[in-house]
Amino acid sequence: MDTIGVFLNHENGTFPNQKTYSTGSGSRPICVTVEDVNNDCRLDIIVGNFDTNSIIIFFGYDDGTFTNQSTFSIGASRPKSIAVGDFNNDHHLDIAVANYGTNNVGILLGQGNGSFCFPVTYSIGGSIPYSIIVADFNNDYQLDIAVTNYDTHGISILLGYMNGTFAPATVFSTGLGSYPYGIATGDLNDDKQMDIVVANSGTGNVGLFLGYGNGSFEKQETYFIGVSSRPSYVTVGDFNNDHQLDIAVSNTGSYNISILIGYANESFETEIIHSISSKSSPFGIANGDFDKDNQLDIVVANAETNSILLLTDYATKPSKPQSTYSTGSGARSYGIVTADFNNDSHLDIAVANGGTNNVGIFLGIGNGSFASQVVYPTGDKSQTVALAIADIDNDNQLDIDILNCHTNGT
């Protein structure tokens, strides 16, 4: 059965068992994100289902639970990643989808009540889009889109207009044979311009594109991770509290996490490597302060060991013992996001379980530990791949939006 899982934070570094939400048999949930897409001041969860070609939204309640799914068909697109933002300045959240099967980006404009228009697609100027992010790359106060192109070794930038449409894609090379997976953004050199970091799985490095602030970028600078490391996904944050953004990378090939420490001179150093269990296949990675020690923690979804792993003290060598939480037999967990789902001021975790067609919720206790997983189904044969969190229906509660790749939704 395909699920996503949520861990609720208890404020003491521990989490109760995960709550799981089914995404449907065969849905294969892979990516997940969190936003308030219905304007009710409650976070919702948006999930992408790879095998059912759909987006699923779980609307949130104040207690960290979610309604039954609402499903939106996006055609035979095989969605791989999702991002959320207000693209047309109507104060309603919209959804952007990286469509692996149709080599384009789909935009679903939101109505503010939890419903969406049928997607409008834009060419990415490449093929096999994997990961998608949104940010203002040209300082015009409009959200733009960046997406990795796995098969054509580059990233595409689509600059947004205020009416929710986008300019033709501009492509920047990540290098021959790079096969870029994950992508993240932030001001990595303190020049007040948004930059982009990419996990290049084929060349075993992380690529950095420094932004000019006009929608264009410097030529990629790379940081080597390892010959067979196969970097998959990246997250940025100040992991050593020096007021400089750093980069954390999940390495599927070498079963570890790399942390690249950032310096004020625009350079990075591979300083800390944390091993994970053999054959774990770490994919999705996120960060947050789960134990309230004013130090960012790192959480990663392990596809092969059907678990999530939490690092709460990675600045020392060796680090403290890692905490792992099961996402269920055969879960094959991919995407992962963090947010406070039950308004208790503790960060929780949502995970897309592609093998069991569900979303799992782990409610946090606030000390770095979590409650048991609660699962929410995403539909038969959905293969949930992407997950986002937002208040979609304007009820001040976070909802869950899901991408399904093999079902067509309703």
Read off the pLDDT of residues 350-405 as tens digits, 9 standing for 90 and up. Answer: 998 888 888 899 999 999 999 999 998 887 777 777 788 877 777 777 777 776 66
Q: How many domains does the chain have?
A: 1
Q: What is the reported pLDDT for 410? A: 36
Is 13 a member of any domain?
A: yes
Domain range for 60: 2-404
Is 252 a member of any domain?
A: yes
Is 409 a member of any domain?
A: no
Is 202 a member of any domain?
A: yes
What CATH code is carried by the domain that includes residue 187?
Answer: 2.120.10.30
Q: What is the reported pLDDT for 321? A: 61
Cis peptide before 318 (omega within 30 of 0): yes
Please tell me the least confidently modeled range out of 11-25, 97-111, 178-192, 293-307.
11-25
Model confidence, pTM: 0.90
Write the DSSP string, 348-361: EEEEEEEEEEEEEE
Q: What is the reported pLDDT for 409? A: 46
Is 74 a member of any domain?
A: yes
Residues 285 and 233 sit within 8 Å (Cβ to Cβ):
yes
Is 343 a member of any domain?
A: yes
CB neighbours of 309 closer than 8 A, spacing ≥ 6? 276, 280, 282, 299, 300, 302, 322, 323, 324
Is 218 a member of any domain?
A: yes
Is 101 a member of any domain?
A: yes
SS3 398: strand
Give just the sign of the alpha carbon dihedral 26, 234, 32, 17. Answer: positive
pLDDT, average across residues 138-154: 98
Residues 355 and 384 sit within 8 Å (Cβ to Cβ):
no
